[in-house]
Structure 1
């Protein structure tokens, strides 16, 4: 895979489409304006169907300066349980292409393990929260890309949201409970602390910090990720774009990249 060409094409497409979109000038149903959609997409437990494709490229990993490209397919599907309670299912299925990570001149490609989260989210205003289980599912097609473990644990989201402003955090802790006996146990904490601001046009900017603590391996990885994005349309399909440099702050040499880049395209279904 030619990573440089991929990133240039992707970023060029995002820049062109966002810059020349006429979506912000269209008439919209209540709740479906560009800014309202941007705010909903900033809320992990909003009652909105979306399918983000999160592209992550990291360089300079480990002693062999490895390169890792991951595309996370992340559908978010809400279910109405009652007038005051929703169940928000969030899926993350990573497809990985990596070189020089597990050794010099090595290459692995395939699915990694999936993470599935179910948030029970009461309908509230201003202070929004959700709690539920998170599952690690051993879907990896290569043992070097996964844990061969099934895991489970709690997840939580707390955030404040006003028009144009979203701030909060999402976190989970997963322990392995079954799987290959010859593989290390999985015991990992993850949190993302985020802030974003949106405009009437659907343009938005923000910053988030991601923290991953591997208790079994006693390693910590922290990155700071500024973000800018916008909302546009491909025909009748509403789409959100965003671009983020991934700035590593803390990490063990074996897992910390020198730098990274994230580009996300989210297919949005406002009528849901």
Structure 2
């Protein structure tokens, strides 16, 4: 899940000064919403991640393309419901010896639902909380936990003076693990603290971690992501592009090591 701020700079010829001010205010608000995981903003991010130095040989590579639609719903005048889905498409090579070294296909889906107040707190914090669900949609047993999972998720953030800071977290437990399943039970804590700064031209510079702790294996997966994001328009359609390196501060012995990178493209659909 990477969290993204979009930036845009465009020129409208023949537009009066008041209209230009309105357009600038609209872009500023869109930039803030795009940073907020529980904003009432329809979006479709497609995120590509590349990682290396994996597997027992240390020569394995894995790419994961996450399709992450965000759908907001109005519950009443005070509350929104935000649906966030992550569907991974995985391509990995050299992670094991023999005929199973290479796999490609769909991984397990994570579905999160946040109930979020429409207004920030008096101190300016925005928050949301709800359930997270793990769906065993993997197309190959090596790409799936083969278990349903359920747990809580929450997010809190504050935006002021160009800065956005916050944290997104969840925990997932197995619902249906049995001794017949050769996979370990799902018992995972996910933590994503994030910090970014937006310039006056709506360019975002940010850092986050997407750390997962496996309580069964007692191991961390901890990539640190640096990114720059640009919001722009094609016609009237706002969209963004994001790119940056990632470094694995910690990972299991056969997990990713060293440097990788991320590229993301997002379509935005303001209400």
TM exceeds 0.5? yes
Query: How high is the TM-score relative to the length of structure 2?
Result: 0.87
TM-score, normalised on structure 1? 0.86
Aligned residue in 1 for 2:52: 59
Aligned to 1:73: 67
* 1:77–1:112 Cα change, 3 Å: same
Q: How does 1:1-272 map to 2 (within 5 A)?
A: 23-26=9-12, 27=20, 33-64=26-57, 65-103=59-97, 106-125=101-120, 126-178=124-176, 181-182=180-181, 183-270=183-270, 272=271
- Most deviating of 237-246 and 133-142: 237-246
Gaps of 5+ in 1: 1-17
**Is this contact kept in 1: 2:51–2:256, CA < 8 A?**
no
Do the aligned partners of residues 185 and 226 (structure 1) sit closer, same or farther apart at CA in structure 2, a change above 3 Å counting?
Answer: same
Alpha-carbon distance in structure 1 between the residues aligned to 2:30 and 2:96: 41
Who wins on radius of gyration, i.e. which is larger?
Answer: 2
- What secondary structure does 2:200 align onto? coil
Q: Distance in 1 between matches of 2:138 and 2:96?
A: 16
Q: Number of matched residues? A: 251
2:173 & 2:25 partners in 1: Cα distance?
A: 39
SS in 1 for 2:210: strand
Aligned-pair distance for 1:242?
A: 1.1
Cα distance, 1:199 vs structure 2: 2.5
| Structure 2 unmatched runs, 5+ | 1-6, 13-19
Task: Give deviations 1:8-58, integer Å, cap 9, x for gaps.
Answer: xxxxxxxxxx8xx7x533447569633322221111001100000010011
